[in-house]
């Protein structure tokens, strides 16, 4: 009540579902994906599944926002879609443009990617960084759409069924009857960018990363799955902006703290990720069973304390990598080698020159620790010459 002021604060049991039917009566709203019923239950976020998606989107301001976004999203051509989103970007703040992109993706996925491909320099910063950080902080304040698979702690022992339900709704099968999936990007929301623990609201990160893979890497967007591993969320102290997330009325993830323990390395880690019945291990095994060993499983924005040991555990068992530890690190080290080339234009063995230098990484996040690991293990720089601030 304090958050939403004098606006409607009825519980879901009091909601008038007749109003949903009225909202869907016009030709515009009939196609509104926020009010389109779904048979999915297992692969929805648990709070949404308890109500169903249409009921969820009737809460608070979501119903009116859904109508506004649907009205703004009327394009049927790439040119018209670019014009619509550009008009929102003219406000000088891209959060509304981000919300528009999500609505368009749900209404017409091919038009959505056609638009991104037409204007990648303009629109990828809206679909992903830097806009996606704020979008994740406000993810639950926007309508809930069908894209995205949520695998929650109560699904333990049944993860394959969760993935299969999502695949049945969103993927096609090959001639042999196997679901076609090229890539799954999965996060637990534990460390979204530099913003801290955003839990299930971190879904914007797997979605956005897969958008980059489609536009820049040629992945088929109809053969990808963005996944949130939902095992709880920290309180306000767990994110940099001190936002109320777990206890927010529109938080759609598990409303519970993460169960953690102190590892042998002395770090706080998510207990359910380790041991013979590891939740992450079950997920990766289920994904491989359903989609084959050629489906890429990418870790994204896990807390560093979990990211490093999980990568070490699974990198040689699955087609997997951690973009923060390996991808960003590779680009950063490439930049360092480029700087060495500028300093020594005639030098051919850049790594040999780097071995004579001292390297300081400012900050002990996944990317910097990954970069330090990379130059230690593959460049052979003595560890006495590598420093990381904390």
Six-digit token string for 125: 């910063």
Catalytic hit among 112, 128, 150, 273: 128
Q: What residue has token string 């806009």?
A: 131
Catalytic hit among 46, 209, 273, 274: 209
Q: What residue has token string 């801290």?
A: 196
Q: How far is CA 308 from CA 45, 269, 311, 322, in A?
A: 27, 11, 5, 9
CA distance 183 to 220: 9
The contacts of residue 200 (CB under 8 Å, 6+ apart) are 45, 139, 150, 189, 228, 230, 233, 251, 252, 253, 254
Cβ–Cβ under 8 Å, residues 366 and 330: no
Check if 60 is active-site. Answer: no
Check if 209 is active-site. Answer: yes
Six-digit token string for 28: 């515009």
CA distance 296 to 273: 19
Q: Biggest alpha carbon distance in the chain?
A: 75
Q: How far is CA 150 from CA 22, 127, 319, in A?
A: 30, 20, 21
Show which residues are catalytic: 128, 209
């Amino acid at each position: 009540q304090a958050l939403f002021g004098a606006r409607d604060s009825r519980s879901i049991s009091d909601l008038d579902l007749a109003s949903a039917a009225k909202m869907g009566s016009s030709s515009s709203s009939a196609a509104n994906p926020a009010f389109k019923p779904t048979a999915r239950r297992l692969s929805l976020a648990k709070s949404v599944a308890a109500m169903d998606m249409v009921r969820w989107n009737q809460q608070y301001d979501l119903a009116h926002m859904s109508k506004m976004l649907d009205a703004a999203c009327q394009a049927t051509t790439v040119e018209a879609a670019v014009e619509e989103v550009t008009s929102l970007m003219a406000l000088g703040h891209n959060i509304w443009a981000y919300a528009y992109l999500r609505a368009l993706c749900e209404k017409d996925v091919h038009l959505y990617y056609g638009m991104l491909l037409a204007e990648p320099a303009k629109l990828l910063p809206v679909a992903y960084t830097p806009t996606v950080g704020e979008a994740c902080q406000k993810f639950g304040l926007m309508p809930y759409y069908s894209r995205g698979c949520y695998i929650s702690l109560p699904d333990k022992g049944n993860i394959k069924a969760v993935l299969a339900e999502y695949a049945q709704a969103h993927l096609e099968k090959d001639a042999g009857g196997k679901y076609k999936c090229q890539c799954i990007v999965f996060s637990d929301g534990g460390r979204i960018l530099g913003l801290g623990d955003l839990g299930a609201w971190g879904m914007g990160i797997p979605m956005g990363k897969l958008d980059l893979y489609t536009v820049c890497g040629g992945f088929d967007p109809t053969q990808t799955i963005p996944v949130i591993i939902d095992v709880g969320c920290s309180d306000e102290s767990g994110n940099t902006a001190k936002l109320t997330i777990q206890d927010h009325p529109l938080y759609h993830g598990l409303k519970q703290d993460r169960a953690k323990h102190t590892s042998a390395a002395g770090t706080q880690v998510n207990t359910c990720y380790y041991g013979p019945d590891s939740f992450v291990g079950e997920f990766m095994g289920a994904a491989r069973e359903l989609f084959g060993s050629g489906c890429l499983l990418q870790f994204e924005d896990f807390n560093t304390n979990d990211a490093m040991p999980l990568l070490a555990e699974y990198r040689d068992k699955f087609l997997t990598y951690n973009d923060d530890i390996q991808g960003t690190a590779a680009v950063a080290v490439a930049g360092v080698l480029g700087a060495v080339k500028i300093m020594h234009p005639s030098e051919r063995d850049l790594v040999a020159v780097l071995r004579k230098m001292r390297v300081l990484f400012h900050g002990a996040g996944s990317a910097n620790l990954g970069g330090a690991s990379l130059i230690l293990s593959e460049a052979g720089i003595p560890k006495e010459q590598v420093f990381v601030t904390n």
